[in-house]
Amino acid sequence: MREAWFSLLGDEIQGAAVLDLFAGSGALGIEALSRGAATVHFVERDRTVFGVLRRNVAGMGLQARTVLHRQDVFRFLVDRKADLSFDIALADPPYGRGAASRLVEEFRRRPFAELLCLEHDAEEPAGDRADRQRQYGDTMLSFFMAPKGGDTGAS
C-alpha cells in the first residue's frame, strides 16, 4: 500500500512538511522522508507503539527532520499550535471505529494540511466526497484537498 500512496502523491512529496497521523511504527512518514519530504511530524497515542516509533526514527538517524507527538490524534488537532501547518497529512486510522469519517469532518471544519491522504476500509465511509480515490481490494485511499483560500494553520 505504501507504494500506492506515494505513486498517487508523485512529486508533491518533494520538500513537503508532512503530518503522519495514527503513525504507528512510522512507516508512512519515514517513507515520505526517504522520498524527499522536508519534515515529518508523527502523532501516535499508544505508549508501546510510540516507543517503537521513537526507536525507528533514531535508528535511521532522522531526528533532525522529525517531531514526535505522543498524543491522541484528535486532541493533537484541537491543541495544535498556530505555527503548525502542513502540506500533506497522511492518516491510516484503525478500521471500524469511525476515525476515518471523524478525521475528514475535522479536516473540512479546520484544514490542517493542503492535502489529506487517508487509508480506510473500502466499506467504511470516510466522510464527504474525496477529490481522488483508488481502491485496492478491501482498502481505499482517499485524497481530500483543503478548500482554496482556506486556513491550514490553527485558528
Looking at the domain assignment, is residue 26 inside a domain?
yes
Residue 52 grid cell: 517503537
pTM: 0.89
User: Is the pLDDT confidence value at 52 over 80?
Assistant: yes
Q: What is the mean pLDDT of residues 88-96?
A: 93
C-alpha cell at 64: 533532525
Number of domains within the chain = 1
pLDDT at site 80:
75
Taking the C-alpha atoms of residue 121 and residue 10, their distance in angstroms, rounded to an integer, is 23
Q: Residue 106: inside a domain, yes or no? A: no
Would you tell me how many other CB atoms lie within 10 Å of the CB of residue 86? 24
Q: Which residues pair with 68 in a beta bridge?
A: 42
Percent of the chain with pLDDT over 90: 65
CB burial of 89-104 (b: ≥16 within 10 Å; e: otherwise) equals bbbbbeeeeebbbebb
pLDDT over threshold 50, residue 150: no
User: For 2, left (φ over 0), alpha (ψ -120 to 50), or beta?
Assistant: alpha
Domain of 39: which CATH number?
A: 3.40.50.150
The range of the structural domain enclosing residue 23 comes to 1-7+15-76
- Where is average pLDDT lowest: 24-28, 76-80, 103-107? 76-80
| Within a domain: 64 | yes
User: Crossing angle, helix 27-34 and helix 2-9, to 10 degrees?
Assistant: 40
Residue 68: pLDDT above 80?
Answer: yes
